[in-house]
Amino acid sequence: MDFYYKDLLIIMAKKESKEKAIEVTLWDAANKLRGSVEPAEYKHVVLGLIFLKFASDKFEVHRAKLIAEGKEKYIEIADFYNMSNVFFLEETSRWNYLIKKSKQNDIALLIDTALHTIEKNNKALKGALPDNYFSRLGLDVTKLASLLDTINDIDTTKDPKQDVVGKVYEYFLSKFALAEGKGKGEFYTPKSIVNLIAEMIEPYKGIIYDPACGSGGMFVQSVKFIEAHHGNKKEVSIYGQEYTNTTYKLAKMNLAIRGISGNLGEKAADTFLDDQHKDLKADFIMANPPFNQKDWRGENELMDDPRWQGYDVPPKSNANYGWILNMVSKLSENGVAGFILANGALSGGGEEYKIRRKLIENNLVEAILVLPQDMFYTTNISVTLWILNKNKKAHSRTIGDEVRNYRDREQEILFMDLRQIGIPFEKKYIQFSEDDIKKVTGTYHQWQTQKIENIPEFCYSATFKEVEKKDFSLVPSKYIEFVNRDENIDFDEKMQTLQNEFAELLKAEADSKKELLNVFRELGYEIKL
């Protein structure tokens, strides 16, 4: 690479947003922890520190405001911060205090103390922050100090509307998922899939639930959808549950950073064996539960669980239909659910067949969308987005400024094949572009309000009788027309094109051969063929 090109790249890089530069710098700093800390561990280190910086900056801004208003005598009283949705921080929990001591050998202990104190003083953060985490890891002091210095450069208060910290947090969750690779990173659902689900089910107002919430990405995107449509995030209530304790903490921090209040249960817990929201009825459900989870219950466990009422008991060999029925049981009268499952759930036999047939007969299945391969960092299999709807009858609903008049779709299911759309991402992955999402959701919402034309290799609106004839299979390829492109080729036209192309190729080859022979002849080394 020449110096000019290097300089050009540097100039181009400088034109990138400051937030992006911060993200990349932070990632580089985090990678320096490799060796002493596993990637699965250092995400908690980095994200815990980012939260600490954010909370401290917000505290300092509010503290300065109280002083400016002549309320200096109240600046150490927690209530004067909590009423403005600001976490109160004692002096030893403040970022400036930690930065001054960042080179000390006991900095890990000081960070643990800071996080513990913040959680103790703020009920909303109960169970959210790492507990004695930094001390236990035995981090290299120099590397930790370097990471603190890098995070110190983030200005979280410059433009609240830009959500700098939120972007950094989101960036890190995706990068950590990529770094951990296959079989790991279950805490993260790719952003474009979450966007698609939100735009499909439109969680504008009401109760939102995620039974396997991971790091809380579904909730964050729901709030973004509300804001994009000029709604009020105070008009939604968020409920979730997460099995893994460290991921549960990530979710609580993620919500706290965004200023989103949510009920994730009293603790990290198994959704099936220790349901934290037994009586919940949700207007919207968004989920990406574990794929094909085996032995999710004991042989004789959960046989009479009320969540299966009206259906067969889901098989213990695979939790897919356990997740489906859990969500069905928690839908309100007009509730809508959008969730991801492995493709096997579309055509499974035994109890799965019986449950799937009943779901279809009960007019709950609204749309089935098969997604491209390589969208997930954890698996390369093709997966499916299910849309379930408790109310497929004709009715009206207001979404922002729009009144949506739905037609009766009780005897119909929309099938969509999205395997031909998407754009490259991180070299070996696929994601949906904004235009892709608009195309898919536009087709779906149009179908909800009026009859649409079936499009080969994209969508098909199937009647109940058609699904019944296919023995209640929900595999989209059984309904969506396939185009045999070979039959549409004009053979004579194709051969004439190839003839012209080869003629030009052979002529060019002959000219090159002639020139080469002339060069050798002029040098006195004639080649005789």
Q: Could you list the pLDDT tens digit for every one of the 529 residues in the chain?
A: 444 333 433 333 444 444 455 667 777 777 777 666 666 666 778 888 888 998 999 899 999 999 999 999 999 998 899 888 889 999 999 999 999 999 999 999 999 999 999 988 888 788 888 888 888 888 888 888 988 988 888 777 776 654 566 667 667 767 776 666 544 445 578 889 999 999 999 998 999 999 999 888 899 888 888 888 878 888 899 999 999 888 888 888 888 877 788 999 999 999 999 999 999 999 999 999 988 899 999 999 999 999 999 999 999 999 999 999 999 999 999 999 999 999 999 998 999 999 999 999 999 999 999 999 888 766 677 799 999 999 999 999 988 778 999 999 999 999 999 999 999 987 778 899 999 999 999 999 999 999 999 999 999 999 999 999 999 999 999 999 987 655 556 667 777 877 888 888 888 888 878 887 787 777 777 887 7
CB atoms within 10 A of CB 85: 12
- In angstroms, the CA 295 to CA 292 distance is 10
Query: Can you give the length of the chain in residues?
Result: 529
Please tell me the predicted confidence (pLDDT) of residue 116.
93
Looking at residue 398, its amino acid is T
Please tell me the predicted confidence (pLDDT) of residue 185.
43
**1 token code pair:** 């690479």
Please tell me the predicted confidence (pLDDT) of residue 468.
97
Phi-psi region of 185 (alpha: psi -120 to 50; beta: other; left: phi over 0): left
Please tell me the predicted confidence (pLDDT) of residue 496.
80
- In angstroms, the CA 422 to CA 433 distance is 6
- In angstroms, the CA 172 to CA 527 distance is 63
The domain defined by 3-158 folds into Ferritin (1.20.1260)
In this structure, are residues 250 and 169 in contact, taking their beta carbons and an 8 Å threshold? no
CB atoms within 10 A of CB 216: 29
- In angstroms, the CA 207 to CA 212 distance is 16
Give the Cα-Cα-Cα angle 517, 522, 527 (nearest 5 degrees): 35
For residue 327, give the nearest of 264, 252, 413, 387 by alpha carbon: 387
- In angstroms, the CA 77 to CA 73 distance is 8
The CATH classification number of 191-478 equals 3.40.50.150
Domain ranges, ordered by start, for the chain: 3-158, 191-478, 489-529
Biggest alpha carbon–alpha carbon distance for the chain: 102
